[in-house]
Amino acid sequence: MDTLEGFRKGVPALMQVLDAHGVKASFFLALGPDHSGRAIFRIFRQRGFLEKMWRTRAPALYGFKTMCYGTLLPGPQIGAAAPHLAPQLAAAGHEVGLHGYDHVRWHDHLLNLPPAKVAREIDQAQRTYTALMGGPASAFAAPGWQCSLASRTALAARNFLYGSDTRGTTPYFPAFGDTVTKLLEIPTTLPTLDELLGFHGCGPQDFTRLVLSRLDKGLPQVLTIHAEVEGGPFLGEFARLLARCREAGVEFFRLGDWAQELLQTPAAIPAATVSLQRLPGRAGRVSCQGPQKARPS
């Protein structure tokens, strides 16, 4: 969840659909200011953003007001605007983690922020979360799949159980150069619906087929959905995807439960390098799991 609109409308809509299918999921909330309007400036800096905006019809997905937050309008504080929602998610049995504080700042500037400012983003997010939930979050998913040695080091120092900051294939410990960081990473393994939409004429039904074919191989898969997309105009398609998965006998799990299971035998978890890569259908570059690396003993 990236925006106030996504929080207030998309999250309850997703909760309803997930409940209807008996699925417990992991939600990652950006609870700080909604500065979505600033993302418009990515047009000038990132190849592929304009094309993606057009292809996914961003104004229809996000609404005009959202696109002005942080530019023409001041960015509202997301968590404070609907303080009951995060506790409601937890009460319904979902995992509730953090998705940064200022989503746009993290997404656009993480790699240029000094480590102290990266840590401050995490601490501000954690403070807001704790005020709403009565305790700290144990999970973190980086805005825009942007992570760095500084962000992973700060998360590891703050007692998070795991992060979900990258795109990859299997859980691992992220390495940056020669430094292997200590926080478990559970990457997103599947493409997202918005990456696939309109790509060579693909529609939501192709996305469902793709997800099912990847699940067919018997390996756990991590799907990222957006409250602004699957909780918005594509809610019906998402409900159909869940229904198809259930017919196929797919078992759902929360990332935190998997993390706990994996961390029973940390020696079995590999280390792998992280690098910025371009992905089909996504503007800019994202942090991706690379080749495995030997772990220091």
Give residues in contact with Zn ion (CB under 5 A).
Answer: 2, 143
Shortest reach from residue 226's CB to Zn ion, in Å: 7
Closest CA to 241 of 216, 204, 213, 215: 204
| CB nearer to Zn ion: pick between 82 and 269 | 82
- Least Å from the CB of residue 2 to Zn ion: 4
Question: Looking at the DSSP assignment, which residues form a beta bridge with residue 168?
Answer: none
State the nearest-atom distance from the C-beta of 154 to Zn ion, in Å.
Answer: 18
Closer to Zn ion by CB, 143 or 191: give it.
143
For residue 213, the minimal CB distance to Zn ion (Å) is 26
Q: What are phi and psi of 99, to 5 degrees?
A: -125, 50
Smaller CB distance to Zn ion: residue 122 or 175?
Answer: 122
166, 274 Cβ separation under 8 angstroms: yes
By CB atoms closer than 10 A (0-12, 13-18, 19+), residue 94 is buried
As measured in angstroms, the least distance from the Cβ of 40 to Zn ion is: 16
Q: Which is nearer to Zn ion, 175 or 225 (CB)?
A: 225
- b/e 147-181 (16+ beta carbons within 10 angstroms → b): bbbbbbbbbbebebbbbbbbbbebbbbbbbeeebb
> Closer CB to Zn ion, residue 152 or residue 226?
226
| Residue with the shortest CB distance to Zn ion | 2
